[in-house]
Chain A
Amino acid sequence: MRDSVSVLIGGKAGQGIASIETLLTKGFKRAGFYTFSTKEFMSRVRGGSNTTLIRISKRPVNAPVYKADIFVPLDTNAFYHAQDRITKETFVIAKKGDFECDCTFYDHDLEGLAKSVGNPIVSNTIAAALIFGLLGCDVNVLREIVAQLYSNEMLEVNLKALEIGAKLGQENENCLYCIEPNLSAQQAKDFFLSGTEGIGFGAIAGGCNFISSYPMSPSTGVLTFLAKQSRNFGICVEQAEDEIAAFQMGLGVWYSGGRAITTTSGGGFALMGEGLSLSGITETPMVVYLAQRPSPATGLPTRTEQGDLELAIYSGHGEFPRIVLAPSDPKECFELVRKAFELADAYQVPVVLMSDQYLADSYFNVERFEIDPIAPVHHIVKTDADYKRYSINSEGISPRGIPGYGEALVLVDSDEHTEEGLITESMSVRNEQNTKRLQKRPLVAKVAILPDVEADGEIAVVGWGSTKYIIKEAVERIADKRLSTVHFSWVHPLCESQLAPLQKAKRLIVIENNATGQFAKLLRLHGITADDQILKSDGLSFFVDELSEKIALLLKEIR
């Protein structure tokens, strides 16, 4: 029996791929498997050629593979769009004659069958039941889910479709992809979350009570998630006229004691540069969720890339400290956005949280965790009569007052300012205030999160952000004792203790989902040189099978 199976569904936008994804991921999860799903899609509302990949495994699986074990093209275009992903062993479920392949063909006219039960749209339910059968799973699990998802006539027709698919699945006697469930997985009741949902829940836990954003893929999911939850958790939601306003509104909210977030992608973040700088000099906290997609400019709007690291680290004019975090899975999304609110508040700096389309739109099996119910700490003070917003003290952080709480006025200024917060052109005051602000960098570096290090091989495979589990599984596949992995989720500012594992390694392979190796460049600034780089910027994430081949090839050279 197999450990792991990959199922690829392809079709036009609006053809019901998302429904198959829901049915199968929920179904397999309830049947006792670990599941993971990810999607790639075109920038259009209807039509085009999109795919969703679902992995099913008896062991935790958190990364995509390129090659499909089972492929369901819902139309002819989908087949040609994904034909590189088919091997000789792939089971392809489609109507014969539409196309040819060197594969195992299951000749079923899904759409025709769907029409026979009264609605062509339910071909996706037939496909889901068929796949369930091909993997040797009990279709009753799927029946329960269909009953929960649909009502009235749609329930009836979907149940009919389910029976047809289940029958076709059972007729198959080729158990190449039969899979063994993991009973403990069934009992664990793990969360099944996307990166987007991880961010949304984490923001709530972090005390977020205001969001203003301008919609931009792939960040919009967090805006809609928080809008949907606004009533349950007391979150004020406003769609801003542009990203500039979105950021500025957030500053207004933090200035008066609220906890705001804004969400955007690279194009919008570019517009927020002036706001970031304002947050820096006024020492007003702010949290930005930056979900990356390929750029420059509009780039590939629905695809993925890690191309905005330098933008996040360097945008904004002048010199001021900031924090840049890059979570790797929905649980880390949850933890780091919560931490982002805490750090922004404690250090009075902007915090940028970097995700990308791949992480935002992928669903992960997340081991169940309890939420630590610790109320967010508001680092604000009740002002007394001699309060000064920008007082110089030994801690390096001026206590933050807010208007309407205490006896003093809170003066905040984008110009260089005195301790009171009024405009000044005094060089000595400039030096004092600037030094105080820049002092936060070493303060912040002290609390930096160390990279995740696995194994102790002398060749370190280094990554950051969303690539963690792809790199991890690729390295596991190679099973070469010389390898270790070092993964960064805190990418700026970097400190000595974070870099120690890299200094120890004999050779560094840095892997990034961009064309110029931005993280490797950052490491070089800290005196650490990448010996090899594996880069990818075609708009897709790395895939485990693809990446392990590339690493293996490199290792041959190193040998």
Chain B
Amino acid sequence: MSTKFIDAYLDGTITAPELQQLNALLLTDAKARREFAEILNVDSALAAMAAGWTKDEAPVVRQTKWRATTPRWMAAAASVALLLGGWWWQDSQSAFATVEKAAGVVEMADGSSLRGESHEIKAGSVALVTARGARIVIEAPAEFRFESAQRLHMKRGRLAADVPPAAKGFTVITPTGDAIDLGTRFGVDVPMSGAAEVHVFQGEVITKATGEKAKQSLRGGDAVTFDQGASTSRELRSSAFIQADEMSELTAGLAAGQRARAESALTNLKNDPALIALLDFESDEAQPGVFRRVQGRWPGSHAPEFVHVGDHLKLDVGGDRDWPQLTLAAWVRIDRLGAPYQSLLHTDGWSKNNPGQVHWMINRDTTMRLALIGNTLAPDANERDGHPDSRTAVLPEQGRWVHLATVYDSQTKTVRFYLNGQFDKETRQQVAHPARLGPAQIGNWNQQDRKLSGRVDELLLLGRAMSDNEIRALHAAGNPYR
């Protein structure tokens, strides 16, 4: 008799007089209160289960009758609950996501199912598809777990999500805030230390820093940092995230044995008598500077990442002599375009008293520049800005690892630019001083200037001019893509 009112209350169809009766009953009858609490408890457990439920889950084995239970299942359920860290309601039959591609990830295999368990990947990147069709790429080092097909907890790591309408509402939960998708493409970066960031490439995302009362609506091009319970807007780093299309080429590169080729090429370079410096960032010795240490071109390899204004890496090499010839090369992944000058390598000094000091950078129009102080252009040189610049834009709109190289020769008085191993342009100089190095910064110049936004890997300084063929081979050997 009491359940009739409880059911009506639950359905929202209870009338005022009925509610009065229910109130009276619950006030006086402890047994009715208990029944009431239990029904609502089941109701809430069903709702929690439904939140993680998806239509296309594995077919359920039909059972025709309700059998009596053995106590064993309780132990099993308890251990599952323990495994899930308290996410007890999830259906152990249904996968929240499937691994589409694991590139250099030893902890996961292609095609494996992810449920509510925690995952830690130390190296590589993994592409996942959720049960509702959202495509997620997560880059190591990362720790994460799905709470349901629609809720992903990211303790740390970097994620790019492409969310179709069917998965609208997909939510990424970080230690410092949440991002709720409204059918869109976005990225979330949870660094080892510091606040999480949300970057919206397309569409709309709702964000809420932990502890913040109001939610924020972000649109394509917007980005925020969750900082001390507030969302602070920041510039977009669209290319800081590996996306699904890049994943397949990275996987193919690994499968083709590119990494071994790159390593043997590095060994050869290290034996080059003209070598000034070769930074592969694999040494555990702390490099001086301010930057994040993140994954490089290969699973588990390292690269410095420059995120904030003033981030830099210090390098002091080759300062004891002049370099009549100099080859500069690096793999870079630039997060964003259009910043005024991005520093690839700037000698600290830039003084007429010390001609030949080197500034190697990306211009605001994304061409590459090599400027040596005191040098002048040949009269026939066609340059907009008084310095040798490359012709082709350094980066496509979609960020990827690109190989940049510049060969300087003070004897032939030429500066030659290369993009991804391809010769781009030669600029002739009238006055060409031998190059001078010494104390320099990568990613910045003198603290707060010429900010590079992105990662640098395998930076090479060679005291001779590499040929076109050598540059082509350098790119081919170090290319992570296929």
Same assembly: no
